[in-house]
Every structure is written in C-alpha cells, then in structure tokens.
C-alpha cells in the first residue's frame, strides 16, 4: 500500500513563503517513491510580502493558504483539517515562510512561538509516533513540536544553531548532502538552502530525507 504523506507549505517564495525549489524537490521525490501526497497550509495572512525581484516589502497582504496553492497546483487544504490518523508521515519544506508564517522565529529567534494550527497538526504526528521531516530553517520549529532534547540540524550557521539550542534543541552540524536523524523522535532534518549553492545540492539532502522518512513509516 502506498504511504500517505502530508506536506505543510508556508506561502510561495523563498523570502516570504515556502522555498519553491525545496517544495518541488520534496513533492517530486515523494511522487517518485510512490507516496500519496496532500499539501496543507495555514489560512492566515503572511507576515509580510516581499518583491522577489527587488527584495523590498510590498502591498497588499497575501494569504498563506492561497499563495501555497500556487505550488500545490490548487490541491491544498487548510492545515486545521490535517489529522495524523489519515497520514503516515509529515514533511515541512523551508523558506523564510517557515520562520515568518509557520512561526515567528525570524523576528524572535529562540523566544519564538509556532502558529497554533501548525503546532497542533505537527504534534498530532508526534503523539501518533509517526515520522516528521524538517527541511532548511523548518527545524527552528522542532523544540516546540517535540520538546527539549530533540536533535536536528540547520547546517553550520552558529548563530541560528545557538537560537535552536536556546529553545532546548540539540543541534548537530551537517553538510548539505546529508541528513540528521533523531531516532527517538522519528525526526529527520537536512540543511538544503541553508547551505546549498544550487538546486542539485539542495536535492541531494532532500532526497535522502524523503527516503528516510518513508523508511521510518515501516519501523
């Protein structure tokens, strides 16, 4: 039977939403491995909107669910509908949306909180002992999702790693092509564009993460 995997997106675009390459690589690898995928996103306004050509903030406001639908080709649901009972695993791609819309890590660092609907959905997978994959900056949510002592990676950035440690996470340095696994919590993380200089580099770690998350659904 094909595994069912939920993917939580955070908008559309590296600077204010989901990193598009990371999201597409994740969805592609899941499809290549025969998984059934459903995308979700919170039905909230983005923290702000960035012009990806100029890098400047712009108006009007945009909705995270509506913008995420661009990546999901319209096949997306409100994260409030996400229940671990209906899926075998959960994956969160990165992009600043994970640190601005799924949480406020970008502005508050180690004092951040996670968007309540996203947190409830993710913790339902923890309660069900089902695997979770966190990509790029998404491991910033790990300590809130799993609690203190969870092991994860964002790559090599010492300042960001220090903020994760402040929240109670155990950070492990990791190269772009590798993954870090926390067997106790069934959590897999990879740096992706925290380190990647190309889409191929990002894919090298993301593909390993997807493969390992799927393997963990059998354990």
How many angstroms separate the CA atoms of 208 and 213, rounded? Answer: 9
Using one digit for the tens of pLDDT, what is the confidence trace for 89-119?
A: 999 999 999 999 999 999 999 999 999 999 9
User: Has 152 been annotated as catalytic?
Assistant: no
Structural contact between residues 191 and 138, judged by C-beta atoms closer than 8 angstroms: no
Tokens of 172: 């492990």
Catalytic residue selected from 112, 136, 152, 174: 136
- Asked whether the predicted pLDDT for residue 72 surpasses 80, the reply is yes
The pLDDT of residue 65 is: 98
- Using CA atoms, how far apart are residues 52 and 191, in angstroms rounded to an integer? 22
Q: What integer pLDDT is reported at residue 219 of this predicted model? A: 83
Average pLDDT rounded to a whole number, residues 193-209: 98
Domain that holds residue 184: 4-216
| Number of independent structural domains in the chain | 1
CATH number of the domain within which 126 lies: 3.40.50.880
Q: Is 24's pLDDT higher than 90?
A: yes
pLDDT number for residue 151: 98
| 133-180 confidence digits (pLDDT tens) | 999 999 999 999 999 999 999 999 999 999 999 999 999 999 999 999
């Amino acid at each position: 039977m094909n595994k069912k995997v939920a993917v939580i997106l955070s908008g559309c675009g590296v600077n204010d939403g989901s990193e598009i390459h990371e999201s597409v690589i994740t969805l592609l690898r899941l499809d290549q491995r025969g998984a059934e995928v459903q995308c979700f996103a919170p039905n909230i306004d983005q923290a702000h909107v960035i012009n990806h050509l100029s890098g400047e903030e712009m108006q009007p406001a945009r909705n995270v669910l509506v913008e995420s639908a661009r990546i999901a080709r319209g096949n997306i649901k409100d994260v409030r509908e996400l229940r671990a009972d209906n899926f075998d695993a959960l994956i969160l791609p990165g992009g600043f949306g994970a640190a601005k819309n799924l949480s406020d890590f970008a502005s508050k660092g180690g004092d951040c909180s996670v968007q309540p609907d996203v947190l409830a959905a993710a913790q339902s997978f923890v309660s069900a002992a089902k695997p979770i994959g966190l990509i790029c900056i998404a491991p910033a949510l790990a300590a809130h999702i799993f609690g203190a002592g969870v092991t994860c990676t964002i790559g090599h950035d010492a300042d960001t790693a220090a903020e994760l440690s402040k929240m109670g996470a155990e950070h492990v340095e990791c190269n772009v092509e590798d993954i870090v696994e926390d067997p106790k919590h069934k959590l897999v993380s990879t740096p992706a564009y925290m380190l990647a200089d190309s889409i191929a580099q990002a894919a090298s770690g993301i593909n390993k993460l997807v493969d390992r998350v799927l393997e963990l659904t059998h354990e």
